[in-house]
Structure 1
Amino acid sequence: MTYTIGIDVGGTFTDIVVSGDGGGTITAKSTTTPADQSDGVLEGIALAAQRLGLTTTDLLGRASRIVHGTTVATNALLEGKTAPAGMLTTAGHRDVIEMREGLKPDRYNLRMAPPPPLVPRRLRLPVTERVRADGTVEVPLDTASLDTAIDQLERGGVQTVAICFLHAWRNPGHEHQAAEAVRRRLPGAYVTTSFDVLPQIKEFERFSTTIANAAVGPVIQHYLGRLGSRLKEAGFAGELLVILSHGGVASVAEATRLAAGTALSGPAGGVAAAVALSRTGLAPDIIGFDMGGTSTDIAVVRGGQPGLSGDKSVATARIALPSLDIVTLGAGGGSIGHLDRSGLLAVGPQSAGADPGPACYGQGGQGATVTDANLVLGYLDAANFLGGRRRLDGDAATGVVAALAAELGIETTAAASGIHRLVNSRMADGVRVATVRRGVDPRGYTLLAFGGAAGLHVTAVAEALGIARVVVPLAASVLSAWGMLNTDLRIELSRSLGQTGGIDTAALQAAFAAMEDEGRARLAWFEGDVVLRPSADMRYGEQVFEIPVALDDVDWRSGTLAADIAERFHAAHERLYTYALRGQDVVVVNARLSAIGRLPAIAAAASVPSAAAAAPKGTRRIYLDGWVTVPVFDFPALGAGQAIAGPAIIESDTTTVLLRPDDTARMDPRGWLDMAISLPD
């Protein structure tokens, strides 16, 4: 049998999903190893092999494809552990990344210090050259100034260089000349140009994205190189792919070249899973609610399609590459409860992470985390955590929660309940940011809960939002890894056109033809089918910001091509903002093309046969506005169609679901728990 393997490295656990070509899926979890994530990856693969009755070498020898989601780039940016970077730029423009369009993250905070740039000013070096906005060369590249700048970079000890010249989106000649010179003089350096990363107008976004790419490039290169070598030594001879922020996967070479595109690599797998489940009939409109050990990621899928954004920030870095529109909160099972400056209870964003982890892990954690509070409240079975591979320390959890309770002057149970309720409130607010603030009414959506911690919180979050339906898959704790195996190869390309006063169809067709050639060339190694999806960022002539418009079904040979494209923009604008101005000129700002290589589908995450209703495996005392005794059901033992009335606990080795009073749940044959939430009238 041949296998495909999905790997999702989270803040606390590394999730493994193995799917066989003859059907069937098995899962495994290992502890994430922040110092070297490949250690946790290899441990997880070894655990999965044991479950299959194979050795690690046997499993990897039979694996045709591994798809990996990693937080290496994200962690490097958040922790300030990026590679020493330098920048070459047009003389007079070295401070673009500090001016940041004149805006601060909190623009009304007068005392807010400016975010520190990823490249210090002494290593942002000017080069004499100038290209005009129409692509003509006004000042040729001065090789003497270029050599002087490279000398300074060499003395500065940089490991990576970003090259960002003015208007290179129109004419990249000078950038490519400079890149050749840097590679010749600094042969060990990682070199990246703005044209190769983001060939679009708007200097700050282009410069910032390129610098972020340079800063994390060596980190990603080292990690993926080490992981690839270790997998090969262990017997793997198949394709290693990496999921990128836009939800598609790419080769290691592509992920290394576009390293900033891995900044949302892990969460992207969860959105891919939501899209895949939508196609199987779960629902067309889904809110993905992924609560792990460190954070909660929220994404909206409308009509089976996820939203994309070109305006994402990680730490202080603006990354304008196309990425899934995900709202991330510092709220997870490892989030620490503490007193804020006002003496009030707060939860997160500080997290216990994987090391030392929550106090109940017995690894020296000192903070009262959400997981500790859930154990104190009786929601977790201390003896059945990770299927019994790790026993939770109830005394340690009670101790840290009691210490926080003493600071607050309340009882231990009240403090634990406060942590639980407060993190629920924070996550409900996060869903509102992803929906209500963007004109979406969440009440008509299905809330899809996954990640190891989501099941204990999702019903309360749904009730707070007025959402009547919640779905928790049997494979909830590893659903992101499963989603990585249900997406395709994807290359995102863009070209800025600089058009004004209407749509220049000849220029647009030329841009798409060039991108098609590039997309096919970058997927030349792939032997499967390649699909091309064109789109454009468009606006009215007097507007500042543009909106994305799909152009999949456009007839490019039509005599009314410009009018057809304009009408698609009017319709999209009307859907978003309720009006269209059909008498105004329409401007195409960026042409975009998605080159998609179709990968084979894998088995469903789980399927449930019909069976007699499973009886509760026991009871447990839990806290729900008072201590009550509730039945406890074995999640994998539930038969298709079995219904359960709350309050109840439904648990597996890696997932625990809290069903609240008056809520009901039914086991769907496709492998998920379908819950109806009791909402107030």
Structure 2
Amino acid sequence: MRFATDTGGTFTDLVVEDDDGSITLHKASTVPSDPVSGVLDALTVAATARGLTLRDLLARADSFIHGTTHAINAIITGNAARTGLIVTQGHRDILLFREGGRTEPFNHTVAYPKAYVARALTFEAPERLLADGTVQTPLDEAAVVEILARMREQKVEAVAVALLWSTLHPAHELRIGELIERHLPGVPYSLSHKVNATLREFRRASSAAIDASLKPLMTRYLGSLSDRLAAEGFGGKVMVLTSAGGMVEAAEVAAAPIRIINSGPSMAPVAGRHYANREGGWRTAIVADTGGTTYDISLVSDGRVPMTRDLWIGEPYRGHLAGYPSVDVKSVGAGGGSIASLDAAGLLHVGPQSAGSTPGPACYGRGGTLPTVTDACMVLGYLDPDYFLGGAMTLDADASRTAIAENVADKLGMSVEDAAWSILDLATENMVQAIQELTVNQGIDPSDAVLIGGGGAAGLNSVFIARRLGCKRLLIPETGAAMSAAGAMISDITGEFAATVHTTTAAFDNDRVAAAIDRLRRDAEQFAQRTGTPGEIEFIAEARYEGQAWDIDVPLTSTNFATQQDIQAFRHAFDAMHEQIFTIRDPGSAVELIGLRARIRCPARADGAFLLKEDPEAATAMRKRPVYFAGEGWVDTQILRWDAVPTDTDFAGPALIESPFTTVVVDPAARFRRSAAGALLIEA
């Protein structure tokens, strides 16, 4: 038996896989002040559903997979550790200067972003190594010891070290690490060449600072998670989801917590790829995960989950650059808990503020009084107040009407139903705009793709989103209500290793490249040995045309560069990738190789497929209730239970398809069917 959890802003999702390969879904409210409690609550719900105690359930499992936003939330809320940064003398402002770039280059009303580590906690070490390894300025160890003493006085809780050329020549960083261990015993530290072996100074420094700042927090959090699970009877492995779309053991994450900044959201594309292949083999899938706080979108094309090294915490150029490889997921502040409000001019806004799980939407009855998207759906008749979470939670429909009436409808002089539709319509438009920006930027026509809707709130407006995008095909997987947790269940154990190598096709240094590849292969193989599972290694080159400012990733089909033909094959692969991304190639310029990465994937389960266990007692009798649709008004709509919908049979809207964890709204213009595997396929 295995568990996979995803802790969201409103609910904690749990997927339980039994020994026969069948899975079940469960949800519990997230506890922001203690996320582990939300996890244990979800496990208790699963145990109760099986007629077991929590201890009996946990005793049967051998693996617990956890996705969490705890790390990124700590950074956003300013709850990361008080961190000091040591840099090469003369480079104290590297985190302030950044790499340039502004979202709005001519909007000077936007304040310049603050450095991740304050200047007062940034210290200059007298040292300087050159790119060829020459020691221009020896490391002044006495000065470093004095810096560490000042850090102790300022109550620094973690230390980051980012020196020039450390990815090529790490001796000075390693020595400072030894001095930290001696003079600041017990204080965690991060060395930039180990955290992010990239040539770019700012990215290395930013990655190291973020990684160090998370170490005390995540060590406590993961330790608490492991200890509390063990106290309840769990004796298996605790695995944590990474930003790169895989998982690693909790102990490895605590040593490098920057790996899990985008932990939960990275799994939705993994699940989306699985469902796109299973249901239709679509070349391009738009994967959208609707949570309580955010709407996360990504593109899966030709079976590849998109990756990026430009992972920003907050807005691009205004937030903090993690600079660590991550699944490329774009998030907007639009979800089931997004709050609707009017500005001073009387214009309606939805999000990015969210009611979260506490107090939550007004209909939750937990003290929330502000209208949300969920409240709008309650007013429109989309949600059954007596069947939310399968009846485990009763919603207050009157509270939703009151919240929308007092905060929106009365102020705009419209009916509560029209105000509720306006809230949902605006939230839908925000989501559509985010998808269009993502697809158009990559030269993809949304009408050629399938839209895959995941998250508990996805079914409420995915039909409307698909129609506005021109997507004729909408897929709501049977596990869509917990899509990130489902993706975790089919993900691999992954590790990623990097090396800085600079050479050019005009004078290729094969010995240096071969040595780097051998080193990366050894690191990957040692990782596989630690997991106890053999894996497949993929090598990626970071390359650019000579003189370019930025590089692109080129998957290597061969790691052999012994002959001129091998180098030309690499050159052709780079040209093809550059043309695919930028529509041009430059055969007259040499290609610079500036880095190499090795990514290893070790399968965690024998088969990527799984089957959701259905409810044999799902109601088959057709019911109807009035549901509000714009332009139609109140329409008598058929209510179907998901597990009772016959497979491979076409149905016409309007309809509401309900499960204990989600409701899918099919308007009068749409048609739908349920696939043999249990997913809903909708033609919008």
Q: If the length of structure 1 is used for normalisation, what is the TM-score?
A: 0.96
Map of 2:328 onto structure 1: 325
Query: Displacement of 1:272 after TM fit?
Result: 1.5
Do the aligned partners of 2:385 and 2:395 also contact (CA within 8 Å) in 1?
yes
Question: Which of 74, 94, 98 is 1:76 aligned to?
Answer: 74
Do the aligned partners of 2:161 and 2:192 also contact (CA within 8 Å) in 1?
yes
Deviations 1:398-434 (A, max 9, x none): 1110012223333222211111000000000111122
Amino acid at match of 1:86: G
Map of 2:349 onto structure 1: 346
Map of 1:670 onto structure 2: 677
Alignment of 1:21-170 (within 5 A): 21-170=19-168
Query: Displacement of 1:373 after TM fit?
Result: 0.6
Give me the whole-angstrom Cα distance separating, in 1, the residues matched to 2:154 and 2:655.
Answer: 62
Deviations 1:96-130 (A, max 9, x none): 10111233443322122122222211111111111
Alignment of 1:526-675 (within 5 A): 526-553=531-558, 555=560, 560-600=565-605, 601=607, 604-606=610-612, 614-625=620-631, 626-675=633-682
Do the aligned partners of 1:8 and 1:15 also contact (CA within 8 Å) in 2?
yes
Range that drifts further, 573-582 or 657-666: 573-582
Amino acid at match of 2:15: V
Q: 1:605 to 1:171 in 2, by over 3 A?
A: farther
Give me the whole-angstrom Cα distance separating, in 1, the residues matched to 2:159 and 2:452.
Answer: 42
> Quick check: 1:433 aligned with 2:431?
no
The runs of 5 or more residues in structure 1 that have no matched partner are none
Do the aligned partners of 1:435 and 1:442 also contact (CA within 8 Å) in 2?
yes
Range that drifts further, 104-113 or 633-642: 104-113
Question: Which of 244, 261, 264 is 1:263 aligned to?
Answer: 261
Alignment of 1:482-497 (within 5 A): 482-497=486-501
Map of 1:356 onto structure 2: 359
The runs of 5 or more residues in structure 2 that have no matched partner are none
Alignment of 1:456-467 (within 5 A): 456-467=460-471
Give me the whole-angstrom Cα distance separating, in 1, the residues matched to 2:292 and 2:300.
Answer: 23
Map of 2:520 onto structure 1: 515
Query: Displacement of 1:90 after TM fit?
Result: 0.8
Q: 1:460 to 1:382 in 2, by over 3 A?
A: same
Give me the whole-angstrom Cα distance separating, in 2, the residues matched to 1:481 and 1:472.
Answer: 15
Do the aligned partners of 2:619 and 2:641 also contact (CA within 8 Å) in 1?
no
Query: Displacement of 1:614 after TM fit?
Result: 4.9
Map of 2:311 onto structure 1: 312
Following TM superposition, where does structure 1 have runs of at least 4 consecutive aligned residues deviating by more than 4 angstroms? 553-559, 607-615
Deviations 1:458-508 (A, max 9, x none): 111111111110000122111211110101111111122233463433322
Q: 1:506 to 1:616 in 2, by over 3 A?
A: farther
Query: Displacement of 1:298 after TM fit?
Result: 0.1
Give me the whole-angstrom Cα distance separating, in 2, the residues matched to 1:342 and 1:95.
Answer: 42
Amino acid at match of 2:566: L
Give me the whole-angstrom Cα distance separating, in 2, the residues matched to 1:546 and 1:141.
Answer: 32
Query: Displacement of 1:167 after TM fit?
Result: 1.3
Deviations 1:179-201 (A, max 9, x none): 11112222221211101110111
Range that drifts further, 258-267 or 501-510: 501-510
> Quick check: 1:243 aligned with 2:227?
no
Do the aligned partners of 2:618 and 2:644 also contact (CA within 8 Å) in 1?
no
Query: Displacement of 1:511 after TM fit?
Result: 1.2
Map of 1:296 onto structure 2: 295
Query: Displacement of 1:341 after TM fit?
Result: 4.6
Deviations 1:68-98 (A, max 9, x none): 1001011111111111111111111111101
Give me the whole-angstrom Cα distance separating, in 2, the residues matched to 1:378 and 1:614.
Answer: 21
Q: 1:173 to 1:160 in 2, by over 3 A?
A: same
Query: Displacement of 1:592 after TM fit?
Result: 1.1
Give me the whole-angstrom Cα distance separating, in 1, the residues matched to 2:491 and 2:150.
Answer: 44
Q: 1:549 to 1:620 in 2, by over 3 A?
A: same
Amino acid at match of 2:376: A
Give me the whole-angstrom Cα distance separating, in 2, the residues matched to 1:559 and 1:50.
Answer: 65
Number of positions where the alignment pairs a residue of Structure 1 with one of Structure 2:
675
Is the partner of 2:356 in helix, strand or coil? Answer: coil
> Quick check: 1:417 aligned with 2:458?
no
Is the partner of 1:53 in helix, strand or coil? Answer: coil
Is the partner of 1:276 in helix, strand or coil? Answer: helix
Is the partner of 1:245 in helix, strand or coil? Answer: coil
Give me the whole-angstrom Cα distance separating, in 2, the residues matched to 1:518 and 1:15.
Answer: 34
